[in-house]
Amino acid sequence: MVEINLVKAYGNVIKKNFAKPETVLKLIILGIFYEYSRLTIFPNKKTPKSIQYLNRLGLKFILEPLKNPQKSAWVTLMAPSQILHAMDIYPLFIEAFSSFLSGMECETVFIDYAEKIGIAESLCSYHKAFLGAGEAGILPKPQFAVTTSLICDGNINTMKYLAKKYEIPYYALDIPYEYNKGSEEYVIGQLKELVAMIENATGKKLEEEKLKEVLKREQKSRIYQKKYLAQLKNKSFPTTLTSEMFMLFTAHVFMGRKETCKFYEMLVDEIKNYPESEKIKIFWVHLMPFYQHSLKEYFNNNPHYQLVGCDLYFDYADEIDYNNPYQTLARRMLLNRYNGCYQRRVKHISNLIENQNPDGVINFCHWGCKQSSGGVMLLKEEMKQKNIPFLILEGDGVDKRNGQDGQIRTRLEAFMEILEKNNSR
């Protein structure tokens, strides 16, 4: 409780200084650095060492672009950040930055500022918080911005808007719904244009051998990731909602980093030593509101319940041909399980659930996300056919005012009672 009060007090200091962009940025950096130092000196010994390392990584990855904007770029979750890693450029991505604002208890002032200048209330709060920070001049100026048309409708407009305001180069990759030779060549052409833009913006040349090394590390990380998933369905392995969020970071924007590969290697080495699980197993769909009190009670190192995966971590599991980097990056986006119609995603989730064999599935519909809310009934029907209990929760991954904690608690308790009854038969 004392720690929560301190975070709220710090968030209030950020809110009070909102009109001073440089001060706010320094406070954000200082707060993240303090947490990184705290976790380094005083790690939670109840948490597996691999998860301790992951929690520090999540903080390190957000500090890098904030402290070194002259070597940074704005990206979104599905952007081909492997190119940035090969050129030693630090990615700052919308979802991570806004999550940290929420974690620091100050997201509301950023969201309200965005709405005040005319941003639609119905827009995803991850984007509104990022736009608010940009409009207020709090975001440090990066070298360029890059996004894709994958998954989120807001990506292109948000990045285009802020790139114009900050007067930086910007590139949006248009990803066709279907994979064929023509669409592959089309995306490869865009990737080469993107690299040319980055080279012009930074004055640095992309060394293709470095990009191959990044993709080689990604392939190694994916192998470890699959091994972890296979072990997770049978093990009692403690995690938290925050560490699950950081897992999302490593599965996308930071795939290919040396630290990410080390984390997955540690994870596989460690989980095999944990006991077999008799817990009730839950598979999660879409984003995790890491701040939600009721959800934390159920899933933060709970002795009775175990998360056995999240669909977003495993959206691409095909072979990576690191010797053909442009072709690989193109296929990685075209064949992503979330590109195209929602039925592709339903099939992907269905396959994951067959592998993980959970007792129940929870789908979190994030405020403002048409993609997560629009297709949920298709997934519900699929789970009904498989006779798997399915819970739909509605809330907000960033803005706590849309969190509906009391309603979530009531529905979650009722759902868990059903799973417990099923499990006792």
pLDDT at 154: 86
Using one digit for the tens of pLDDT, what is the confidence trace for 56-81?
999 999 999 999 999 999 999 999 99
DSSP 5: H
Distance (Å, whole) CA 280 – CA 358: 8
Is a pLDDT exceeding 80 seen at residue 368? Answer: no
Helix, strand, or coil here: 48?
Answer: coil
CA distances from residue 333 to 79, 172, 183, 347, 389 in whole angstroms, order as listed: 9, 13, 11, 17, 31
Using one digit for the tens of pLDDT, what is the confidence trace for 222-263?
999 999 999 999 999 998 999 999 999 999 999 999 999 999
Using one digit for the tens of pLDDT, what is the confidence trace for 125-141?
999 999 999 999 999 99
Looking at residue 63, its amino acid is: L
Top-confidence residue, 67 or 44? 67
CB burial of residue 173 (10 Å; 0-12, 13-18, 19+) = buried
Are 218 and 95 in contact by the 8 Å Cβ rule? The answer is no
Please report which residue ranges of 171-240 form alpha helices under DSSP H. 181-202, 208-232
pLDDT at 185: 98
Sign of CA dihedral 211, 213, 214, 215: positive
Cβ-Cβ contacts under 8 Å for 418 (sequence gap 6 or more) = 360, 389
